[in-house]
Every structure is written in structure tokens, then in C-alpha cells.
Amino acid sequence: MGDQHESPPTSRQEGPNGREIMTSLDDGMERAVEALIDEVTETQPQAFPDPSGLRGRVAIVTGGSSGIGRAIALELARCGAHIGFCFLDDGGPSRRAAQTVAGELRQAEVRTYFRACDVRESRDVRAFVAEVHSELGGIHILVNNAGIGRDRALWRMEDHEWEAVVRTNLDGAFFFTRAVAPFMRAQEYGKIVNITSVHGIRVEFGLANYAASKAGLIGLTRSAAVELGSKNINVNAVAPGYIRTTRLTAGVPPEILDQAREESALGRLGDPQDVAGAVLFLVSEAARHITGAVLPVDGGYLL
């Protein structure tokens, strides 16, 4: 005896000339399922004339006066987002850099609000977030970019070197995320991107404070994604490798940068614009179904 196969259940209908037409009940079930899916319109991705969907949105970028932060702010402004950015006031050059970025943003014909803000101080962070909301009319995007490094072998690392890095890189991101969460939850919309680092994934000598802060930022990203996801808030991270023209690589010995270039699959260092492009993707509607992810922008350094 050969194998026996069950035929799907069928129904009989009378067709032209009195012939019976066999109709699979499975086909009917499939149509019913498709009709049910079509009814759930609120989960369907929407087509936007502007693929980024950012025009008129309000974005906060921490550490936005130079390097990666500046590139991110300008890229979001190019897509029509209004920008609130903060910077660390450590003297005249930092204030002049902030004024320059503000001028560049205004040339993009978007509204901007900026001031010095110490991301390590929760009261200052709450005040800044409230000011951006009031001045620019909302908060839809947060990019936690502010970060510093104080490299030293861990047995020689001073308390203040550990605390400054962890409080800036990790505490600052937590304070800002906590401050924007009520606004984003109320409107049931938000995009948060944390700028972590490949050194939060792959460590190197002398980076105990920096690596710990950036690894912690990855944990914060995933936790926030879980806690805020039910309110349609996406939380992701970008992990840059060695990026040219940033403060964090300005003091890196040339031999380290040469080694990083050699270990990169693409054989080059990155540019702040490379990071800005990744952030733009993650805050756009193209990434509406991505959350809790860590996107390396390292030229293949982690491979």
C-alpha cells in the first residue's frame, strides 16, 4: 500500500451547467485570516513623502556643539527637525563652538534652543528638558551623545577619573531618558538613541572607566526599550568605532589609530557623518520596528 494523504476539507457548490465546484475550506480560512490582518491598520507601516518622517519633530542632542553631536544635530535639522542641544561650558572655545552650531542650524531653517547643561546634574537636566519642550513645542527624539574619556590603567586610576566618566557617559544618559520619558509616554511616541561605543563590547587596555560606562549604556538601552516599548517609544544604541576629529580620539596615539585602521574590515577610520547617518535611520520611520538594538558603526572593527 502506498502512503495515504488526507485531502483538505472541501465544500460543494453548483457551478455553470449544473457542475459541482470543489472549494477548499482552507482557502476560505486563509481569506478570513487575511481580512482580519487587514483590519489591524494601526500596526501597518505608513508611507511618508519625507522618508525620514522628521519634519516638524523636536530633537534633543546632548553634547551637540562638536564632533559626533554636531554632525547628528545638523543631519536631523537637514531633515526638518527642530533642535535643542546642550554642551559642557568649559570656557570660551566651547561657548563659541556652540554659537557656531546654532548658526548652522538656523541656516537649515529650523528652530533651535541651546545652552550649557551639566548632564551629571539631574536638576539641570530636568530644567533643560522642560525648557526645550516649552521653547520648541514638544520632544520627540533624544540622542544621548555627551561623553568623555579619562584613560588610565585601572590600578592608577583616581576616583575622580572613574566618577567623571561614569557620571557623564552613563548617569547623564539615564537622567535625560528619565526626564523625556513622561513627555514621550503621554504622546505615545518617541525615539531615543544612545551613543555607546565598540569599547562597551570589546575592551582595550586603560579603558576600565570608559568601557564600563559604555557597556552600562547598552544595558540601559535594552532596559529602557522594554519599559517604554508599550508606549510606542523606540530605544536603540549606536556603537561607533574610532571616529576622526572627535575629542575622544584627538589624544589617541597615532600607532593606536593605525592599528584600529588595520583591524577594520574597511581599512579606514570613521567620520562623524557616518554616525549621524546611523542615528538618522534609527529615529526615522524606516526603523519603526527596531528597538533594543545596538548598531556598530565601526567599519568592521568588531569582526
Tens of pLDDT, residue by residue over 249-303, are 666 777 878 888 888 899 888 999 999 999 999 999 999 999 999 999 999 999 9
10-14 and 20-24 beta bridge pairing: antiparallel
Query: Is the per-residue pLDDT at 31 higher than 90?
Result: no
Tens of pLDDT, residue by residue over 160-193, are 999 999 999 999 999 999 999 999 999 999 999 9
Whole-angstrom Cα distance, residue 57 to residue 76? Answer: 9
Q: Which of 100, 87, 246 lies closest to 168 in space, CA to CA?
A: 87
Quick one: pLDDT at residue 16?
Answer: 46
Catalytic residue among 113, 210, 242, 301, which?
Answer: 210
Surface-to-core class of residue 123, CB atoms within 10 Å of its CB (0-12 exposed, 13-18 middle, 19+ buried):
exposed
Whole-angstrom Cα distance, residue 162 to residue 212? Answer: 10
Tens of pLDDT, residue by residue over 114-148, are 999 999 999 999 999 999 999 999 999 999 999 99
Check residue 252 and report its DSSP letter: S
Whole-angstrom Cα distance, residue 69 to residue 86? Answer: 10
With residue 190 as reference, give the H or E element that holds it. strand 190-195
Quick one: pLDDT at residue 255?
Answer: 80
Query: Is the per-residue pLDDT at 156 higher than 90?
Result: yes
Cell of 174: 539615564
Phi, psi of 135 (to 5 degrees): -75, -40
> CA–CA distance from 213 to each of 19, 197, 206, 295 (Å)?
75, 10, 13, 17
Quick one: pLDDT at residue 134?
Answer: 98
User: Is 210 one of the annotated active-site residues of the chain?
Assistant: yes
Query: Is the per-residue pLDDT at 51 higher than 70?
Result: no
Surface-to-core class of residue 180, CB atoms within 10 Å of its CB (0-12 exposed, 13-18 middle, 19+ buried):
buried
CA 68-191-270 angle, to 5 degrees, is 25
Tens of pLDDT, residue by residue over 232-245, are 999 999 999 988 86
Domains of the chain: 57-297 (3.40.50.720)
Q: Are 105 and 74 in contact (CB under 8 A)?
A: yes
